[in-house]
Structure 1
């Protein structure tokens, strides 16, 4: 006869080995550090790789975003492979992929070679971003699960911050500094590979996929003691009693999974479509668009990384106290406000062709061609480029929009910085950590691996679209329209959260399944 599910209150009576559980979670979450580092380190290398490989806007977008193609492959394969071979083994493979990618991309001498190396790292990202939170959710007690799963997001943002610092200190290396920026990732990747051998296999996976109850019990006893192990085993078996077979992709389309898929796909869509990877991948570029120098742009990117880190810590503190849905509502609302502020700042910007600014243009041909417009002031980049079209060739116009237009801008740069920092802070307390926590919680155990792979694939596809189009948007639509689009999407994200997302705080995985699974 199935056991009655136990509550969070019962868990508080048990003696948890928090130190061991936190250690396991921290080791596994190092994959998040590599993911964050890999995502942000390319921002410092953008100018270097653009020059070395002689890229167009589309080629640059693909070189930066191609990592997401690899992530999609990792997304779609990691879940089923982890169901078959175990969470731990797949995480070890991701560590190997990170090491190979960092080394190869730093040594690449051709564009195609560079792209292939980046894609390999993307496969590691796709696997780590899905399997790490699933593993942590499966070993963590319900009372600690939100905070421990959020450690993965915390490590992501630490990785982002470290990447910005690394880029700043490596940017002045003589020669091709971008190679050092990309190659240094191999060090933490190898450390992650070694550290993973110290963590146990997932107890839930051992029971559900291998029927190894004794091995699972031994791990659970070490985590929380005998009483905790007995209660957890009873809960897992109670959930297994209701599952007649292993889930398939077709099950995700069933009526019973409708509510779960709406929540999962909606959150996965809005996490990326609101532009977070455009900010992280192109942070220095955005600040240069606001008239900043190269040095100040790199320093401002560091501030972005630190803001992300601080507010992720806030999220970890609040996610099991305030709850998932309140954080999402607060965060998406603040994101909409921040993006509107950035839109307003660029909307109010003007472009003036002063003699001093013209003299700073690198190309002598462009300088000569635009001298006839000296003294003109324009209310938008679009108006400026319209007047330049008859004077410049297509290649020269593209060069001007990408590299020279920022030299003529007059803008409230402080407002841009505040807007970006508010946006990053809002994301860090909401869509960043909460999405992965929710995904690790809402899917039934018999279909979790394949379900989270499908949703992760979709999330990566949206991310790639944003990353690929962002350089083109800045050059052709201008920053005003670009940020306005993201602001509208943030408002839609807020409305979606208020309408569809449920609260999972304090519930066991099996209790969440009962709440969401439509009969």
Structure 2
């Protein structure tokens, strides 16, 4: 049985260190992986992963409107650009010109769906491969590999001459996304001091939102350049990938990864540099101990199936699933037509993208500021209330006034536009960024890369599932889809209230002892000998005895 030290709450030793330039530099460069992902989401018209379904909605919401075709030419990403559709999806382009036909429930194009979903299927598979490279070669090389995949994908999609090149390019982009989404959050969690780990980790999500906003503006600007505007839009996606590729040459590998791969002295040296102090013995010993435990595990995926590994695994997967079931997709699809209804005409698509994009960015900054002050659970619970109220208001207004044809009265549309912004704000400072932060910080080292690969793959899987199911859901439920997602938000709130532990300020390698073994529910997954009394913490490191 390991040595046990009982300490009162508040007596937990803190690791020494400052917030250094090296940490900030590493975080900014690594977060370019988020910029890379975000720009691709925006440039592909996949803002919140539903470009095709946005077209379906516009068919019904804009029907009989003289601005319908012009509106559709300025909304979405390259998938809404006529030059792109005529080149690769001619049948879709032809149907787009017939916007007066109320046939959106039967509208379908398998190749366009493949273009949409191929990235996420590739990312799902790539996340498991990235888990292996993270463990064997390190977090930094995995990020570099992600950028190379992405650059290759950008080259193919930019210069594609047929649908086959386009799909292969999307698959390479998916590999880049899978590798980046696996490596970057882990890199940020292991690099950051515990007191600002949440803020630094959320920089990944912040850069995603910035990338989306930039892409929306680029899409609008190049949409008027014929016939190669879409190629410019796709090609610029290589810029953040190049930033990550070359920028990563100037940053450090995480001390945890170095020590895990037997580069012990190099790990200690890097720890001193990123913490800005010479006395790093406490944190160093904690990392060494975690690595010693991890080295005894030869099959991390098998280890994940053990009883004591279930708490972080369940949390990681559930957080990703809930992120997709907030209803953010449904909210974003209605945004452009609501802005148009209020009176912004054919500029509504750009305006809605920019306004909601700015709300997204600014609210993510709020999360950066608050997450290490008020904690993860407080942000999630507050956002559940905020999103629940706005979903119900939006659903009620649309159910009352938005019919199969026509648009909303201006007053109602203005109310819904405001509610959309309030909803996006709540999502952006809670389930959006924390859906990535919490899974990246809760696994012990021995199952960290394997466990987080399940989180990434779950995100990609349910993104794909929601993308494929949304059309039929929208067709059958109409405005009722908002109440469907509102019910899920209630479930999410109850889960966060009763089953989600607080991880604020806890060193990433101390989660098992300080968090899981102390939680009223999850502690039952550990042997009685491993669990201490409430208000006490089990320490198994010799330097703390």
When normalised by structure 2's length, the TM-score is 0.78
Contact preservation (8 Å) 2:335, 2:420: no
Deviation of 1:289 (Å): 9.2
Structure 2 partner of 1:396: none
Q: Does 1:302 align with 2:301?
A: no
Of 416-425 and 158-167, more deviation after overlay is shown by 416-425
The whole-number CA distance in structure 2 between the counterparts of 1:285 and 1:63 is: 24
Contact preservation (8 Å) 2:39, 2:214: yes
Structure 1 partner of 2:268: 217
Structure 2 partner of 1:97: 149
Alignment deviations for residues 403-447 of structure 1 (CA, whole Å, 9 cap, x no partner): xx5xx3234322332232222111111111112221121101011
Of 2-11 and 183-192, more deviation after overlay is shown by 2-11
The whole-number CA distance in structure 1 between the counterparts of 2:415 and 2:114 is: 30
May I ask how many residue pairs the two structures share in their alignment? 462
Q: Does 1:47 align with 2:85?
A: no
Deviation of 1:58 (Å): 4.6
Report the 3-state secondary structure (helix = DSSP H, G, I; strand = E; otherwise coil) of the residue aligned with 1:269. Answer: helix
Q: Map 1:219-368 to 2 at 5 A.
A: 219-243=270-294, 244-277=296-329, 284=336, 293-350=345-402
Structure 1 partner of 2:440: 440
The whole-number CA distance in structure 1 between the counterparts of 2:230 and 2:343 is: 23
Structure 1 partner of 2:407: 409
Pick one of 211, 214, 217 that aligns with 1:162.
Answer: 214
Structure 1 partner of 2:497: 498
- Alpha carbons of 1:128 and 1:485: their partners in 2 closer, same or farther (altered >3 Å)? same
Contact preservation (8 Å) 2:124, 2:460: yes
Of 325-334 and 52-61, more deviation after overlay is shown by 52-61
Deviation of 1:342 (Å): 2.3
The whole-number CA distance in structure 2 between the counterparts of 1:224 and 1:420 is: 41
Structure 1 partner of 2:506: 507
Deviation of 1:501 (Å): 0.6
- Alpha carbons of 1:191 and 1:262: their partners in 2 closer, same or farther (altered >3 Å)? closer
The whole-number CA distance in structure 2 between the counterparts of 1:298 and 1:234 is: 53
Deviation of 1:252 (Å): 1.8
- Alpha carbons of 1:214 and 1:349: their partners in 2 closer, same or farther (altered >3 Å)? same
- Alpha carbons of 1:292 and 1:230: their partners in 2 closer, same or farther (altered >3 Å)? same
The whole-number CA distance in structure 1 between the counterparts of 2:340 and 2:44 is: 16
Q: Which has the higher helix share?
A: 1
Deviation of 1:9 (Å): 7.7
The whole-number CA distance in structure 2 between the counterparts of 1:329 and 1:423 is: 14
Structure 1 partner of 2:454: 454
Structure 2 partner of 1:64: 116
Report the 3-state secondary structure (helix = DSSP H, G, I; strand = E; otherwise coil) of the residue aligned with 2:445. Answer: coil
The whole-number CA distance in structure 2 between the counterparts of 1:17 and 1:419 is: 38
Of 446-455 and 410-419, more deviation after overlay is shown by 410-419
Structure 2 partner of 1:400: none
Report the 3-state secondary structure (helix = DSSP H, G, I; strand = E; otherwise coil) of the residue aligned with 1:319. Answer: helix
The whole-number CA distance in structure 2 between the counterparts of 1:416 and 1:118 is: 35
The whole-number CA distance in structure 2 between the counterparts of 1:337 and 1:139 is: 37
The whole-number CA distance in structure 1 between the counterparts of 2:243 and 2:392 is: 41
Alignment deviations for residues 316-337 of structure 1 (CA, whole Å, 9 cap, x no partner): 1000000011111112222222
Q: CA RMSD in A?
A: 2.7
Report the 3-state secondary structure (helix = DSSP H, G, I; strand = E; otherwise coil) of the residue aligned with 2:252. Answer: coil
Contact preservation (8 Å) 2:33, 2:240: no
Structure 2 partner of 1:204: 256
Deviation of 1:191 (Å): 2.3
The whole-number CA distance in structure 1 between the counterparts of 2:256 and 2:6 is: 16
Contact preservation (8 Å) 1:246, 1:447: no
The whole-number CA distance in structure 2 between the counterparts of 1:501 and 1:111 is: 45
